[in-house]
Amino acid sequence: MATKENFVDEVFVNVTSGDGGDGKVSMRREKFEPMGGPDGGDGGRGGDVVLVADENLRTLLDFRHRREIKADRGQDGGTRDKKGASGKHIEIRVPVGTEVYDEQGDEGDVPVVDLVVRDQAHTICTGGRGGLGNARFKNSTRQAPRFAQPGKPGESRKLRFTLKLLADAAFVGFPNAGKSTLLRRISNARPRVGSYPFTTLVPSLGVVERGEQRIVAADIPGLIEGASDGAGLGDRFLRHIERTRVIVHLLDCGAMLAEERNLLADYDVIRRELARYQEDLAERPEIVVLNKVDVLHEGPNGYGIEAIEDALHERGLKPLRISGATGGGCTELISAMFEGVDAAKAAEASEAVAKSESSK
């Protein structure tokens, strides 16, 4: 289970590829040829720095105390035209969903690569070229050159890694709306749960299964008004919704009963924060869920739940009644999630085909 201490979604790292090895200055010394020609070999190439997307990683924690990364230098050239060995490449493994920015751009952050595919690799710094040995400089007028080239220096870059989780569906809502309990109920995830606000301090991922099908769901920490401006670290949490295909919006029926909260007002607050953070998020497919309905069964008309449903129906929404605690309604929710994700994938495929056709 990820905790606040081990879930890190943004780091700064300085990376440098290896310098090229120096060319060698050497003259051949044979028993019967004391003044032989030049035989200095070339220096080896410096090692590259390569980024690799690793599906087994979920955090950038490893880089909290690993801020300087440098590949090996190429070996110098040797005698008898021996070329120096190339420096060993270094792989930097990061979670799938990591965006990489160059911090040294003239206009601030410059996007470099978005690592969104398993095992996707990108060479971020190329090793320096090895210097030429003196054997390379022999010609008809210069039979015994006594100089060689130094190796070229490696490249250096100051990078920012920003992790945006890749999930098919994301649970959003106010703190204590029951998102973590629901994720535990329908997936293999085991996030911390509690009866107090802000129990969830970092996003959690879980795999939801239906027969042979699988989707990934994310429990996003509770959002509050002003989240898009950073209130409650909301802007950091919202970045993890950017790639999701379907938003599952939880409304807390327990809060309606215990705190006399207006669920329609809560709904509008979250929708407004999504739109303010990124306009596209407000247009993402959405499943509205009335959670904790098990606490309402004793009240007349479910303590006004029908009125909430009617108001949502008037907005063209079809809310689902569920209880993450008891599991009631979760089968219907899982079906709705798979249908929403399948529809989103089909739309993405159609858009890709349309773009391909238009580019011909």
Q: Which two tokens stand for residue 119?
A: 């095992």
pLDDT given for residue 231 in this prediction: 54
pLDDT tens profile 211-260: 989 999 988 887 866 655 555 444 677 888 888 999 999 999 988 877 77
Please, which residues have CB within 8 angstroms of residue 271's CB and are 6 or more apart in sequence?
249, 282
Q: Which residue has the tokens 């398993």?
A: 118
Token code pair at residue 215: 């989707």
* CATH number for the domain formed by residue range(s) 169-358: 3.40.50.300
Strands (E), 120-278: 121-125, 156-163, 169-172, 204-210, 213-219, 246-252
Q: According to the model, what pLDDT value does residue 54 have?
A: 94
Model confidence over 89-110: pLDDT tens digits? 999 999 999 999 998 766 678 9
Report whether 81 contacts 52 (CB < 8 A): no
pLDDT at 24 (0 to 100): 97
pLDDT at residue 198 is higher than 60: no
Instruction: Kindly report the length of the chain.
Output: 360
Question: Taking the domain 1-163, which CATH number applies?
Answer: 2.70.210.12
Cβ atoms of residues 216 and 205 within 8 Å: yes
**What residue ranges do the domains of the chain occupy?**
1-163, 169-358
**Torsion sign across C-alpha atoms 289, 177, 259, 285:** negative
Provide the 8-state DSSP code for 105.
-
Q: What counts of helices (H) and strands (E) characterise the chain?
A: 6, 14
pLDDT tier at 199, thresholds 50, 70, 90: very low
pLDDT at residue 229, rounded to an integer = 57
User: Which pLDDT value is given to residue 3?
Assistant: 46
Closest CA to 164 of 118, 195, 203: 203
Using alpha carbons, select from 242, 280, 52 the residue that is nearest to residue 166: 242
Element (H, E) at 280: none
